[in-house]
Amino acid sequence: MENMILQLSYLIGSITFIMGLKMLSHPESARKGNIVAAVGMTIAIFATIFLFKDANGQGLHNFVWIFAGLAIGTVVGTLAAKRVQMTAMPEMVSLFNGMGGACAMLISMVEYHHMQHSGVASGTGTMVVIVLGMVIGTVSFAGSIIAWGKLNGSIKDRTIPAGQILNFLILGGIVVLSCMVIGGMSTGQSLFYGIAILAAMYGILFVMPIGGADMPVVISLLNSFTGCAAAFGGFLYDNPVMLTGGILVGSAGTILTILMCKAMNRSLKNVLIGSFGGAKAAGPAGAKEQGAYKEISLNDTATLMAYASKVMIIPGYGLAVAQAQHTCHELEKVLNEKGVEVIYGIHPVAGRMPGHMNVLLAEADVPYEKLLEMEDANDQMGGTNVVLILGANDVVNPAAKEDPSSPIYGMPILEVEKAEHVIVNKRSMKPGYAGIENELFFRPKSSMLFGDAKKVLQSLVSELKSM
């Protein structure tokens, strides 16, 4: 009976994961989807703790350690999630993803250590799962920690001499040593842990040179790695919930990575090897002399927007830094009251992680139907009177279409120059996250509105209300 209830709990957990992932595809149901998946996970965890029995009929013990770990993890995770600023959301996602990779790595290490001391011979299939879980989990952990450091600014881009050759050598070493361990050529633990060290080195070296503009793709890729590593843990423990969850995360992360690469018009190989947005990015395109830019006042900006029929707002990381999403929504409502249609143009790689701008605006209760994907936004750009760019840079850079020497050449962008007026809100004329100068700022249709996004938007709202 206990085993039947346990398997039923696993089935419920698997179904809720699938339902939750489906509900996450739409902002209106995303919060509920998170709750549904969390409830399924909770059921599976407690069913395992109290109902699981091994081949000898023995259940789990050490409940003090188990519940202490659950309590500490719950408190730390809850506090971190509640206190994190929207600007820090990408690094928190990367850090949490790294913890998932570390768990998969530790599971493989514990199981290998257990087999070494139990004297029970393991099959080739089991050893393949253990080694793959450890390697992928370690790469995900090490790479995610580097990504976390790069996103919060504590780790800078580093281009290592002959880095690609070194990575291939390390990868080759991992493959050779893994084959030796799986084939039973080594019965000690030193070779196994040597693989872990090489995998950690590979994770560090493969993420280190990748520049800021590619970080959304890297985060998505590392997320898929963690999912795959968790799935191997599911195979190892014959646990349907771990297996289902890992497969869902791994497949979803892989699909998202492919879509992100497509949105940037680049291959995954080019992202991982080309390092666009890193130290190489400041090339000829960044050094080219530009003309003069022109500024626009708050009053003139408010006047243009008040007498427009359609305004498109393009959010970027600067909006998140200023925590101005609520003020932006207030501006939208004031313009709507004056009969102005307001829509949002969302580039898939705007911000620091996939969907960053969608999450940012959803937090401010911006209606989902007003968020236009890049293709739809470009279709409506010609009929737009004013485009207001809030802290976005690389996703509106015309060099992506016009300058073959630019590192972002070929990346689809929001074609803002099709609109009548382009107003760019930035703190300064510094390049964006990719480190590339933006020629848009010097074009005839463009005007610069300098200042903190929140303060500028608050002033615009005040100006519009007084008209």
Q: Which of helix, strand or coil describes residue 137?
A: helix
pLDDT for residue 273: 59
Query: Which of 137-146, 221-230, 289-298, 456-465 is predicted least confidently?
Result: 289-298
Q: 125 and 201 share a domain?
A: yes
pLDDT for residue 20: 92
pLDDT for residue 28 is more than 80: no
pLDDT for residue 371: 92
The region that residue 238 occupies, defined by phi over 0 for left and psi between -120 and 50 for alpha, beta otherwise, is: left
CA atoms within 13 A on the CB side of 333: 12
pLDDT for residue 222 is more than 70: yes
Per the model's pLDDT, the better-predicted residue between 332 and 239 turns out to be 332
Q: 235 and 98 share a domain?
A: yes
pLDDT for residue 31: 85
Q: CATH number, domain at 346?
A: 3.40.50.1220
> Is the separation of the CB atoms in 463 and 422 below 8 Å?
no
Which residues in 82-114 are b (16+ Cβ under 10 Å) and which e? eeeebbbbbbbbbbbbbbbbbebbbbbbebbee
Write out pLDDT tens, residues 310-338.
Answer: 999 999 888 888 889 999 999 999 999 99
Most confident of 136-150, 172-186, 199-213: 136-150
- Of 83, 106, 122, the residue at which a domain comes to its end is 83
Q: 325 and 404 share a domain?
A: yes
Q: 351 and 303 share a domain?
A: yes
- Reported as a pLDDT band with limits 50, 70 and 90, residue 116 is confident
- Average pLDDT score over residue span 91-112: 92
Query: What residues contact 328, with CB distance under 8 A and at least 6 apart?
Result: 313, 315, 319, 361, 364, 366, 390, 453, 457
pLDDT for residue 278: 45
pLDDT for residue 120: 64
DSSP letters for 244-259 = HHHHHHHHHHHHHHHH
Chain Cα centroid distance, residue 362: 17
User: Comparing C-alpha atoms, which of 177, 174, 182, 178 is closest to residue 124?
Assistant: 182
- Of 20, 48, 83, the residue at which a domain comes to its end is 83
Distance between CA 121 and CA 116 in Å, rounded?
Answer: 9
Whether 321 is in a domain gets the answer: yes
pLDDT for residue 434: 57
Whether 285 is in a domain gets the answer: no
pLDDT for residue 159: 72
pLDDT for residue 416: 94
Distance between CA 452 and CA 328 in Å, rounded?
Answer: 12
Q: 74 and 35 share a domain?
A: yes
Whether 113 is in a domain gets the answer: yes
pLDDT for residue 281: 42
Per the model's pLDDT, the better-predicted residue between 90 and 342 turns out to be 342
- Reported as a pLDDT band with limits 50, 70 and 90, residue 350 is confident
Q: 37 and 186 share a domain?
A: no
pLDDT for residue 244 is more than 70: yes
How many domains does one find in the chain? 3
Whether 287 is in a domain gets the answer: no
Q: 369 and 386 share a domain?
A: yes
Whether 284 is in a domain gets the answer: no
Cα dihedral 111, 240, 259, 310 sign: negative
- Average pLDDT score over residue span 41-59: 87
Distance between CA 112 and CA 194 in Å, rounded?
Answer: 13
| Residue tagged 């998140």 (tokens) | 320
Distance between CA 161 and CA 433 in Å, rounded?
Answer: 23
H-assigned helices in 24-88: 27-51, 63-83
User: Comparing C-alpha atoms, which of 342, 369, 341, 373 is closest to residue 357?
Assistant: 373
Q: Which of helix, strand or coil describes residue 448?
A: strand
pLDDT for residue 204 is more than 70: yes
> Is the separation of the CB atoms in 325 and 361 below 8 Å?
yes
pLDDT for residue 386 is more than 60: yes
The torsion angles phi and psi of 298, rounded to 5 degrees, stand at -65, -40
- Average pLDDT score over residue span 4-23: 92
Whether 215 is in a domain gets the answer: yes
How big, in percent rounded to 5, are the helix, strand and coil portions of the chain? 65, 5, 25
Whether 53 is in a domain gets the answer: yes
Write out pLDDT tens, residues 271-302.
Answer: 665 444 444 444 434 445 556 889 999 999 99
Active centre residues (catalytic): 394
Q: 381 and 409 share a domain?
A: yes
- Of 239, 254, 279, the residue at which a domain comes to its end is 279
Distance between CA 420 and CA 281 in Å, rounded?
Answer: 31
**Cα torsion at 157, 161, 164, 166 (round to 10°)?**
-110
Length of the chain: 467
* Residue 67 amino acid letter: F
pLDDT for residue 283: 42
Most confident of 85-89, 116-120, 125-129, 131-135: 131-135
Distance between CA 398 and CA 375 in Å, rounded?
Answer: 16
Q: 433 and 349 share a domain?
A: yes
Per the model's pLDDT, the better-predicted residue between 431 and 229 turns out to be 229
Distance between CA 89 and CA 85 in Å, rounded?
Answer: 6
Chain Cα centroid distance, residue 327: 25
Share of the chain above pLDDT 90, in %: 51
pLDDT for residue 433: 58
Whether 34 is in a domain gets the answer: yes
- Average pLDDT score over residue span 412-428: 92
pLDDT for residue 201: 94
H/E segment holding residue 144: helix 124-151
Roughly how many angstroms between the first and final C-alpha of the chain, as a whole number? 73
> Is the separation of the CB atoms in 76 and 70 below 8 Å?
no
> Is the separation of the CB atoms in 264 and 350 below 8 Å?
no
* Residue 453 amino acid letter: A
Share of the chain above pLDDT 70, in %: 91
pLDDT for residue 448 is more than 50: yes
> Apex CA 28: angle with CA 244 and CA 322, to 5°?
105
Query: What residues contact 255, with CB distance under 8 A and at least 6 apart?
Result: none
Q: 267 and 412 share a domain?
A: no
pLDDT for residue 156 is more than 70: yes
Q: 367 and 431 share a domain?
A: yes
pLDDT for residue 289: 53
Mean pLDDT value across the chain? 86
| Residue tagged 């990367």 (tokens) | 94
Structural domain span for residue 14: 1-83
pLDDT for residue 408 is more than 90: no
Q: 425 and 307 share a domain?
A: yes
